[in-house]
Amino acid sequence: MRLVIAQLNPIVGDIEGNLERAIEILARFNEKADLMVFPELFLTGYPPKDLLERHDFALSVQAALRELILISAKYNETGIVMGAPVLTGKKTGKGLYNAALLIWNGAILATQHKSLLPTYDVFDETRYFDPAPSVEVVSFKGQCLGISICEDAWNDPKLWPRPLYSFDPIEVQAKKGADLLINISASPFHLGKEQIRYDLIKRHAKNHETPFVYVNQVGGNDELVFDGNSFAVDARGNFIDFAPSFEESVRIVEMDAPGNLNIRPPKDEIETLRLALVLGIQDYVRKCGFSRAVIGLSGGIDSAVTCCLARDALGEENVLAVSMPSPYTSQESKDLSEKLVQNLGISFVEIPIT
């Protein structure tokens, strides 16, 4: 099966814009793939937080899904795995599922809701969602797909001294005959997270002798940064392909291809940290609707690093550095501030604090 991994950067709450982006990718790549896979809650962006408690927001999501279903009939050779919140239709509970919908040829072929709802660290999903009533697989184009959502892949005994959940949805799907596993995610970045994910998904693939595709969101949303790092592995856990970190990427992956032991994602902890900070600044500025930054320079290392990150994120034409010396500021501090702005090519003004 040939897949398109759509590692994209949605804007939280911009249902219309996120839908347009999905339709654009579908139009460009539909003839090249059997299945196009988008990240978790892509239609709303992640995390939508209390927007999920607004009834009009839920209705907008359902309208967007209806539009996507209609459009899918134009591209009847390509299925779509889309992440979105859907109404449970029940009178009790939160009233929403975090869902992965398999859309094909003008209809929803299958829906798998998220089973494991995390409440640790930055997550608070039981506040908004009900857990899936069951874990299923679906037949599509001659293959049995096990589609899961983010945390559903994380109940691994090697990760937790004490299991957080009573069952493993990936194991359930494997036992039900899945011969291709797909996980859509909105997994935020921290140092070393990418290696943890690689090891986790590779273990699933090897344990169940089943190829596995992992598709993660990329971009900054408020205090969270998502690094992407989507990838595919074969049944032995060897990389077939992987997407770059901290940037959008749409990749065509042939899942029948054997993995390659020589394919290894690049590792550099400091460069990874820099890219995360740059993307976080860039998206905070862009998604909040402004474009420029003013940085106070002291001549010290903290403001120098901040200024470098701002220049990398926004461009040299969008950063103004301001030195505010006092009568007690050393000449060295003034000289270092001026040297920095010359090196970076940014605008500079000195305004004595007196």
Q: What are phi and psi of 281, to 5 degrees?
A: -65, -50
Euclidean distance between CA atoms 152 and 135, whole angstroms? 10
Pair type for strands 212-216 and 138-140: unpaired
Torsion of CA 340, 344, 348, 354, to 10 degrees: -30
B/e letters for 53-77, b = 16+ CB within 10 Å, e = fewer, are eeeebbebbeebbeebbebbeebee
Block residue for tokens 């790092």: 229
| For residue 47, cis peptide bond before it (omega within 30 degrees of 0) | yes
Strand, coil or helix: 284? helix
- Which of 271, 290, 272 minimizes the C-alpha distance to 282? 290
Structure tokens at 121: 């660290």
Q: Are strands 231-233 and 212-216 parallel, antiparallel or unpaired?
A: antiparallel
Angstrom distance (rounded) from CA 120 to CA 259: 34
Q: Quick check: 40 and 186 in contact, CB under 8 A? A: yes
Q: Measured between alpha carbons, how far is 152 from 148 in angstroms, rounded to an integer?
A: 6
Cα gap 275→154, rounded to integer Å: 25
Amino acid (1-letter code) at residue 350: E
User: Among all residues, which ones are annotated catalytic?
Assistant: 40, 114, 150
The rounded distance, in Å, linking the Cα atoms of 17 and 308 is 31
- 26, 78 in Cβ contact below 8 A? yes
Element (H, E) at 199: helix 193-208
